[in-house]
Amino acid sequence: MTLTLTESRLDPARAAVRDVIEAGRGYSRVITRGSVLRIVDLEGNQAVDTLFYNAHDPSERYSATATIVAQRNLYLSTGTRLISSEGNTLLSIVADTCGRHDTLGGACAAESNQVRYAIEKRYMHSCRDSFLLECALHRPQLGKRDLTSNINFFMNVPVTEDGGLCFADGVSAAGRYVELVAEMDVLLVISNCPQLNNPCNAYNPTPVQVLVFEPAQDVT
């Protein structure tokens, strides 16, 4: 697959928010309509598991199925509209220097760690743990039932010829980023993946950065 890369015209120095998420940690904040969110893969091949909700009604959230159907593509990149469970556009990808992001692989969990790898892996930290902790701290109304399909930014999960999924080496690199404009007020919830058992982050979880540019800036 040929990757199409699109650079942003926004100056990182002008970002209103410049937060670093350490490896394995969670993160959440509201991104207001018209703001631009940039997620930066600081060291390369880090998987950034991400959930999006309508900030005012979190029962409306990102739908992998609706997004795949709308764009007729399994992978996300520039031009992709992230479609909600209600058929609305949550955010649109406006720049991407990685070129391919996963929307099928899901998030690692205690249960999946032991099934995929070994029974003793059950107690390793997981993305579902990070999601639940972040929700408990900042959106206590969200629980296990609300952890639906997530996006794995910078993660490479090819579909095999027989229709299965495999976790492959990443296609990102240090400094690459994806940039999205919020089409409504959205709640962003991130788990900066702690996974040590597959090559999604080269077996070495690393920090990522979140930048937010305010709506007044020119993003075209």
* Beta carbons within 8 Å of 194's beta carbon, 6+ residues apart: 23, 24, 108, 124, 125, 126, 127, 130, 205
Separation between Cα atoms, residue 121 and residue 38, nearest integer Å: 32
Are the C-beta atoms of 182 and 33 separated by less than 8 Å? yes
* Beta carbons within 8 Å of 177's beta carbon, 6+ residues apart: 8, 38, 39, 40, 41, 95, 96, 97, 98
* Beta carbons within 8 Å of 55's beta carbon, 6+ residues apart: 30, 31, 184, 185, 186, 187
Q: Which two tokens stand for residue 120?
A: 């003793």
3-state secondary structure of 62: strand
Q: What is the pLDDT of residue 104?
A: 83
* Beta carbons within 8 Å of 1's beta carbon, 6+ residues apart: 75, 100
Q: DSSP label at 213?
A: E
Separation between Cα atoms, residue 174 and residue 210, nearest integer Å: 14
- Compute φ and ψ for 146, nearest 5 degrees: -95, 0
pLDDT in single tens digits along all 220 residues of the chain: 456 799 999 999 999 999 999 998 999 999 999 999 999 999 998 989 999 999 999 999 999 999 999 999 888 999 999 999 999 999 999 999 998 898 887 767 555 554 554 455 555 567 888 899 999 988 899 998 999 889 999 987 667 667 666 666 667 899 999 999 999 999 999 999 866 666 666 678 899 999 999 986 554 4
